[in-house]
Amino acid sequence: MIKQEHLRCFVAVAELGSISAAAKRLFRSPSAISMTTTNLENEFGQPLFESDSKSRLTPFGAYVFEVASEQIKRYDISITSMHAYASNGFGCVDIAAVPSFATCYLPGLLTEFITSHPNITVSIRDDSSTHIYSLIEKGDIDIGIVSPREEFMAVKCQNLLTDPIGVVCNRSHPLASINRPLTWSDIRHETFIANGTCKHIQAETFQAIVDSAQINVQNTTSLLAMIAEGVGITTLPRLAVPTDRENVVFLALKYKDLDRTIGIITPTDRSLSPAATAFVETVVKRFDN
């Protein structure tokens, strides 16, 4: 029977490349680590390492390493959550959000949440929607705040808000002096900088502009810096453009239904801690109101 400790020993050897280094990490003797990995290979009936040196995995060993690493990580997160719940009576919550939501809404939401639920541990990061979905599926976080994507089936999503998409340019750019909502014709001859949110606009004329773009920037901070320097123009959701950027301006487009939805996602394959459940309720209630 394969136990969690067997997998932990194997992962340590695979990560460190030697039995002696794994023994030091796990505070066990080298002979005990060697016997455990040998027993694991016997249980599978397949070698895990290419040689006795343990410096290189077999293809099967690489597969076992990937699966075992995820299981150990999920186990450790669960144990940490149990200890937090036992010590403070409420548990912990790990959150990841797209940067625009993290900047505009999370500070106020956290102030409200911590005031009403003081006995918690909160961990927050900002990231892209795609990576946040991956973090949810791997069990690295409890809650994600993202642009919803239908292809991820292992999550539940509750929509929170819609965020209009417009043109973003330097305030001194000629587009900024047009006193009306812009059209695709207004921007098609400009130096366009493509970015990850361009996929939210399906219009063929606009996608032709994106396809011909010579610059593609995925990081919003870097993108806004280029816009501020007058490198080109782009399209972004309104929340992604800080109101305190004096040299960058958000301009409306004339077309309807050009917006990005932001929702809160949670896993469907495991239960949330009381803290995470309470945070979801706080967020949903805020936007329902």
- One digit per residue, the tens of pLDDT, for the chain of length 289 reads 888 889 999 999 999 999 999 999 999 999 999 999 999 999 999 999 988 778 889 999 999 999 999 888 878 877 877 776 676 666 778 999 998 999 899 999 999 998 888 878 788 999 888 899 989 988 889 899 998 877 666 788 999 999 999 999 999 999 999 999 999 999 999 999 999 889 889 899 999 999 999 999 988 889 999 999 999 999 999 999 988 888 999 999 999 889 999 999 999 888 888 888 889 999 999 998 6
**Which among 75, 67, 127 is positioned nearest to 100, based on CA atoms?**
127
User: Which CATH code is given to the segment(s) 4-85?
Assistant: 1.10.10.10
Residues of the chain within CATH 3.40.190.10 domain(s) are 90-160+261-288, 162-259
Query: What is the sign, positive or negative, of the torsion defined by CA atoms of 251, 257, 260, 261?
Result: positive
Which pLDDT value is given to residue 191?
A: 96
Q: What is the pLDDT of residue 105?
A: 93
Q: Report the C-alpha gap between 128 and 253 in whole angstroms.
A: 24
Looking at residue 128, its pLDDT comes to 87
Q: Could you tell me if residue 287 is left (phi over 0), alpha (psi between -120 and 50 degrees) or otherwise beta?
A: alpha
> For residue 289, what pLDDT is reported?
67
Could you tell me which residues are beta bridge partners of residue 165? Answer: 237
Whether the predicted model's global pTM rises above the 0.75 cut:
no
Supply the pLDDT for residue 27: 93
Give span(s): CATH 1.10.10.10, the chain.
4-85
**pLDDT value of residue 114:** 87
Residue 273: the pLDDT is 80
Q: Does the 90-160+261-288 domain belong in CATH 3.40.190.10?
A: yes
What superfamily would CATH give domain 162-259? Periplasmic binding protein-like II (3.40.190.10)
Is there a contact between 268 and 156 (Cβ–Cβ < 8 Å)? yes
Phi first, then psi: what are they for 172, rounded to 5°? -90, 0
Query: Given this model, what pLDDT does residue 107 score?
Result: 92
| Distance from C-alpha of 47 to C-alpha of 187, rounded to nearest angstrom | 60
Helices 4-16 and 30-44 cross at an angle (nearest 10°) of 110
* pLDDT reported for residue 93: 87
CB atoms within 10 A of CB 233: 22
pLDDT of residue 229: 94
